[in-house]
């Protein structure tokens, strides 16, 4: 049986994403795009989840499914910030 959600999660990759978010470049990019600094909560949540449940295929698959659902409901773009700035 194939599924569209991954059943594995790399904790090294999650840590790399977290450290990239906290970096000066990551913060600058987020401030430029969205007008605020990033608390990196999504990356921290992913890293914590991976440490605790990264080897449980069912929980990993559910996590990816939940993230996809959240992203589809809360999709936005940097245009949401830049349009008011043009005025």
Q: 5-54 pLDDT, tens per residue?
A: 999 999 999 999 999 999 999 999 999 988 899 999 999 999 999 999 99
Tokens 């990816």 found at? 64
The confidence score (pLDDT) of residue 7 equals 92
The model's pTM is 0.76
Kindly list the domain boundaries of the chain, sorted by start residue: 11-86
What confidence tens digit (pLDDT) does each residue in 58-71 have?
999 999 999 988 88
CB 60 within 8 A of CB 7: yes
- Is the model more confident about 26 or about 3? 26
CB 76 within 8 A of CB 34: no
Using CA atoms in the order 73, 79, 80, 82, what is the torsion angle rounded to 10 degrees? 160
């Amino acid at each position: 049986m194939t599924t569209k959600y991954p059943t594995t999660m790399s904790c090294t990759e999650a840590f790399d994403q977290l450290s990239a978010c906290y970096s000066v470049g990551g913060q600058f990019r987020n401030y430029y795009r969205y007008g605020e600094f990033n608390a990196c909560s999504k990356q921290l949540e992913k890293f914590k989840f991976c440490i605790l449940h990264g080897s449980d295929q069912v929980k990993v698959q559910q996590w990816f499914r939940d993230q996809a659902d959240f992203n589809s409901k809360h999709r936005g773009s940097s245009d949401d910030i830049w349009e008011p700035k043009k005025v």
